[in-house]
Amino acid sequence: MIIIGERINTGFKDIKEAVMAHDPKPLQEWARKQAAAGCDYIDVNLGAVSSKGSDMAWMIEQVQAVVDTPISIDTNKEAILAEAIKACKKPPLVNSTTAAQAKMDAFFPIVADYHASIIGLPIDEAGTPKNAEKRVELAALLLAKAMECGVPTDHVFLDPIVMPLKFLQDQAKVVLETARQYPLLADPAPHIVCGLSNISNKTLHKKLIDRTYLAMLIGAGLDAVIADAMDVELRQTILTAELLMNRQIYADSYIPA
């Protein structure tokens, strides 16, 4: 499982305040903790705090000063991406493009230039489709664009778009149906990723909902996740689900892990 740590996001108050004050400490503390928890990428999200690429580059530099985990550049703005990607010491994960033509035209050539990977969202000019069929159709467009630009299909992470259960309860199942179809769209197969914590937004029992849904998503083929990497029970759920999917061999090392 490819784990992308979600915590360096200005949606969290401590990170928002740190970015506004240009105080590296909270970012570096979360970078260290997430790297120690075994993250494969550290997501960096500037949110609405600033629209300056230089602020995103600053965030990335603070993280890279203390860990060498690759960065997930969480922005939908081309100007921010173009500046932030220059700051990355290792090929990053670009999070994310939609399937809207103008967005793909802007993002994919940058990804190709930097040998990066990219998350693709099945959203077009009309928005996010409510059904699996249309999401899969847009995912195919994303993969076609990747091939056209020389981005290997296994550098593409398809996101089925997890929505809050509290407001769109029927979508949880649609996302599972979408995920099941993604690996069939290209060879080598694309990765399947999602922003897990979206599911439990504004609910009680957030952690229980997150880890139950994650087990179901892994059953549907998910092999990457943007999540709370510090959640020990979530990490245990990942190990157990991967064992049950026969992606890991059962060994006595499973028990201490």
Residues at the contact surface with ligand THG, assessed by CB under 6 A: 6, 9, 11-12, 45, 74, 95-96, 119, 159, 162, 194-195, 197-198, 201, 226
Cβ proximity to ligand THG: between 87 and 118 the closer is: 118
Q: What's the rounded Cα separation, in Å, for the pair 216 and 135?
A: 19
Shortest Å distance, C-beta 210 to ligand THG: 9
Cβ proximity to ligand THG: between 119 and 215 the closer is: 119
Q: What's the rounded Cα separation, in Å, for the pair 4 and 42?
A: 5
Cβ proximity to ligand THG: between 117 and 198 the closer is: 198
Shortest Å distance, C-beta 206 to ligand THG: 7
Residue 48 neighbours by CB under 8 Å, 6+ apart: 10
Cβ proximity to ligand THG: between 134 and 243 the closer is: 134
φ/ψ (deg, to 5) at 56: -65, -45
Q: Which residue is nearest to ligand THG (CB)?
A: 195
Q: What's the rounded Cα separation, in Å, for the pair 206 and 197?
A: 8
Shortest Å distance, C-beta 201 to ligand THG: 4
Q: What's the rounded Cα separation, in Å, for the pair 31 and 8?
A: 8
CB 75 within 8 A of CB 59: no
Cα 23-51-55 angle, rounded to 5 deg: 30
Cβ proximity to ligand THG: between 207 and 250 the closer is: 207
Shortest Å distance, C-beta 150 to ligand THG: 22
Shortest Å distance, C-beta 86 to ligand THG: 21
